[in-house]
Structure 1
Amino acid sequence: MQFAEQGPLARVAARILATTPREAKDAALHAMADALDGARPAVLRANAEDVRRAEDSGTSGAMIDRLRLTDARIDGMVSGLRQLASLADPVGDVVRGWTNANGVEVRQVRVPLGVVAIIYEARPNVTADAAGISLKAGNAVLLRGSSSAASSNAAVVEAMRAGLEKAGLPQDAVQLVTGGREVTAELMAARGIVDVLIPRGGAGLINAVVEGAKVPVIETGTGNCHLFVDATADLDMALEILVNAKVQRPSVCNAAETLLVHADAAEAFIPKAVAAMAELGVTVHAEERFAGVAGEAAVVAAVPEDFTEEWLSLDLSAKVVDSIDEALEHVQRHTTGHSETIVTGSLASSRRWTAEVDAAAVLVNASSRFVDGEQFGFGAEIGISTQKLHARGPMGLSEMTSTKYVVVGQGQVRA
């Protein structure tokens, strides 16, 4: 089907979903989960085709990890849809309300965005997450996945559309947009059809969408996430947080990419950190002072570009700083505004960090891997917004709504 046909169908579906009661949406989410679970063999076969093509084309290991589906990851997609069904419906929530002196009642009420388009790379689990969260918030969704995951996305969407049909909701509430680059351009220019466009992927994709779109965009940014070990840090805690933030899943946007260590903690912490990273296969790209403490044989020399890198791999940039001021200055210069962590025993340092770091999430004595919609209790997320308008941080159900004002009177007129 051509995008010229899909767009109007999505608008029709969005109008239906806008007034669909919670119980019907929840039943559809369970039906979608059942259908996806039942289609597991077909989804895994389709994903194997995508992975094989990626391997044959020399795709990096980090990107293949983002692409690959397993039984466990499909379990996560299925449980994510079911979890969404258990969450409160934001549509109809009254954000605030009051009665004016003349008796006119004013309420600000949450409403669906309408038609949401999502352009994303690899990670076919995004297909299920995006469809489910859009549906629960009353939106129709147009999914533009990358060609690398074409077979996987098609199999996942086919299953979810079957679930929608079984539940009695319009299949066109979830559509996969396919075709060449010209289709992406159509999607980005579809004023009057697409209400909000959300890009998920690398810096190149996000910048292309932000700069080229003619429809409103919510920017989900890349993650050059820093971990600062302060002079007063519990070093065992710091090491545990570093290992988790860097290694637990290095190919995602909330993984740690740069380690900053206060000079007063360097001698005690750096050798342990480098040994742990080496044992786990992490290459440490160290500036001169860090390398001097670590031993040059244990690290590779960092170049300036390493400190702007979102590695998405088993690589870590590392630097010694003389103060929290220098750490804050480094983060300000290199942050992508995603998630920034301090490990400290100082209340004053933690307060400065949370007040002065400009990012969607700032963390004290906790792994940046917690910056995630599910971990925050939102259920599946659309992405991590690094912009400042409408939504910032993990985008859950509430962030997938807008508001409108409902004004009720008894015949009042303005003087």
Structure 2
Amino acid sequence: MDIQKTMREKAEAAKRASRALAILPTGVKNEALRAMADALEKRAELVLEANAQDLEEARAKGLKRSYLDRLMLNEGRIRQMAEGLRQTAALPDPICQGDYSTIRPNGLEIRRVRVPLGVIGIIYEARPNVTADAAGLCLKAGNAVLLRGGSEAIRSNTAISSLLMKAAYKAGIPEGALQFVEFTDREAVDAMTHMTGLLDVIIPRGGAGLIHHIVENSSVPVIETGTGVCHTFVDETADFDMAVKIAVNAKTSHPSVCNAMETLLVHAAIAEDFLPQLARAMEEKHVELRGDARAREICPEMREATEEDWSTEYGDLILSVRVVPDLAAAIAHINKYNTGHSETIVTENLESAHRFQKEVDAAAVYVNASTRFTDGFEFGFGAEIGISTQKLHARGPMGLEALTSTKYLIYGEGQVR
């Protein structure tokens, strides 16, 4: 099969559908999203059968535990996917919403309103839930979408996308607005990255290698959803029990996701008292600790951390630990090694909290809370398309508004310049 030709045909069909989708009434879009959710739940067995085959093959390849966790579906996760679609249906429609208006001295009335981006290409790896989340958000924001998932989840994604497309089209979504790429060859990705004029933007979701490849090779604009080297800094005034609770949650509640903590920084003034308590809690969760020289003096059971550890997104039950002399050193470490994702400070000092939030360069900066909250659902956006770590157009969890652009509407009475 000619991959380039087929990919272009899919993109052209999506482009045609995008024009009708852009002006589709909100009620039609919402009804389609609810129908898509119903279809997933009614045919969950079909999706689970496909996912079981993907998991069997992934285990045979020896893929690591964290990757298998991202790939695995169960009834609960399918219900979550369906609930995400229903929540997206319940959200306000951003299209045609105004966010600026003025009347100029010459009488011109100028309004700015939200419009769809057009056709969005989503390139992602092991998470089958992205298929439903991305399709739902793109459709609600009036965008056609071209979905290309990873080879390890091809059966799961094929099953999910077929159910979604059938339900969406039956409910009134224009034919062609949802396109799934069944090719697992890298050639399909390269074709998407050069579809200038057909795709309006590409959003990659996955590991650093995938994202770097897309950013470096795409002639289509890219919204970079970054990797997450996230930090927790335990300040000298921190409540120890709170700090341990936050750190354990940030590292162990779902270690394979991008908002999980990868490095713990501890103020030197409390390190000797705090680190043993932290180490015991992490040991109970089977977390491997890798510390700097001072951390290993206090907890000799830690492995030695290397320079590479400070910039590594483990996606696993591994945590690097560093003792820092003060708040300034913690901020400096974070700004040197982080990926602009999510950072948190545990402190009882309001001045330190404000300084941390002001000076740390990241999409989400917390005080006394786990980095695991950086998520579209938790922020009230419904399902998310990804978490942007860049600064142009969108930053942080990307909900419906991030999938729109703007248009100016100008009303006159014969004015000329």
**TM-score normalised by length of structure 1:** 0.98
Q: Equivalent of 2:116, from 79, 99, 112?
A: 112
Q: Equivalent of 1:195, from 182, 197, 200?
A: 200
1:199–1:206 Cα contact (<8 Å) kept: yes
Aligned ranges 1:227-246 → 2 under 5 Å: 227-246=232-251
1:285–1:300 Cα contact (<8 Å) kept: yes
Question: Partner residue of 1:284?
Answer: 289
Q: Equivalent of 1:334, from 322, 333, 337?
A: 337
Question: Partner residue of 1:369?
Answer: 372
User: Is 2:273 the counterpart of 1:260?
Assistant: no
Q: Equivalent of 1:185, from 180, 190, 195?
A: 190
Deviation at 1:318, TM superposition (A): 0.4
Matches of 1:236 and 1:171 in 2, distance apart? 55
Aligned ranges 1:268-347 → 2 under 5 Å: 268-294=273-299, 296-297=300-301, 299-347=302-350
Question: Partner residue of 1:391?
Answer: 394
User: Is 2:156 the counterpart of 1:152?
Assistant: yes
Matches of 2:186 and 2:127 in 1, distance apart? 19
Matches of 2:348 and 2:169 in 1, distance apart? 55
| Aligned-partner SS, 2:176 | helix
User: Is 2:40 the counterpart of 1:32?
Assistant: no
The farther-off stretch of 219-228 and 171-180 is 171-180
For 1:255-287, what per-residue CA distance to the aligned partner results, in whole angstroms no more than 9, with x for missing partners? Answer: 000000001111221001100101101001111
2:88–2:140 Cα contact (<8 Å) kept: yes
1:307–1:334 Cα contact (<8 Å) kept: yes
Question: Partner residue of 2:11?
Answer: 7
1:162–1:171 Cα contact (<8 Å) kept: no
Question: Partner residue of 2:68?
Answer: 64
Aligned ranges 1:160-179 → 2 under 5 Å: 160-179=164-183
Deviation at 1:171, TM superposition (A): 3.8
Instruction: Report the aligned-residue RMSD.
Output: 0.9
Matches of 1:57 and 1:145 in 2, distance apart? 18
Q: Equivalent of 1:121, from 113, 122, 125?
A: 125
2:158–2:182 Cα contact (<8 Å) kept: no
Alignment gaps of 5+ in structure 1: none
Matches of 2:108 and 2:174 in 1, distance apart? 38
Q: Match for 1:102: what amino acid?
A: N
For 1:187-207, what per-residue CA distance to the aligned partner results, in whole angstroms no more than 9, with x for missing partners? Answer: 000001000100001100001
Alignment gaps of 5+ in structure 2: none
Q: Match for 2:369: what amino acid?
A: A
Aligned ranges 1:47-86 → 2 under 5 Å: 47-86=51-90
Question: Partner residue of 1:408?
Answer: 411
Q: Equivalent of 2:218, from 202, 213, 217?
A: 213
For 1:19-78, what per-residue CA distance to the aligned partner results, in whole angstroms no more than 9, with x for missing partners? Answer: 001111000000111111112001000001111110000100000000001111101000
User: Is 2:138 the counterpart of 1:138?
Assistant: no
Deviation at 1:103, TM superposition (A): 1.1
Question: Partner residue of 2:103?
Answer: 99
Q: Match for 2:71: what amino acid?
A: L
| Aligned-partner SS, 2:147 | strand
Matches of 2:14 and 2:83 in 1, distance apart? 26
| Aligned-partner SS, 1:246 | helix
| Aligned-partner SS, 2:225 | coil
For 1:165-217, what per-residue CA distance to the aligned partner results, in whole angstroms no more than 9, with x for missing partners? Answer: 22022242111113221111110000010001000011000010001000010
| Aligned-partner SS, 1:92 | coil
Equivalent pairs, count:
412
For 1:311-353, what per-residue CA distance to the aligned partner results, in whole angstroms no more than 9, with x for missing partners? Answer: 1000000010010111111111101000011001111111111
Deviation at 1:291, TM superposition (A): 1.2
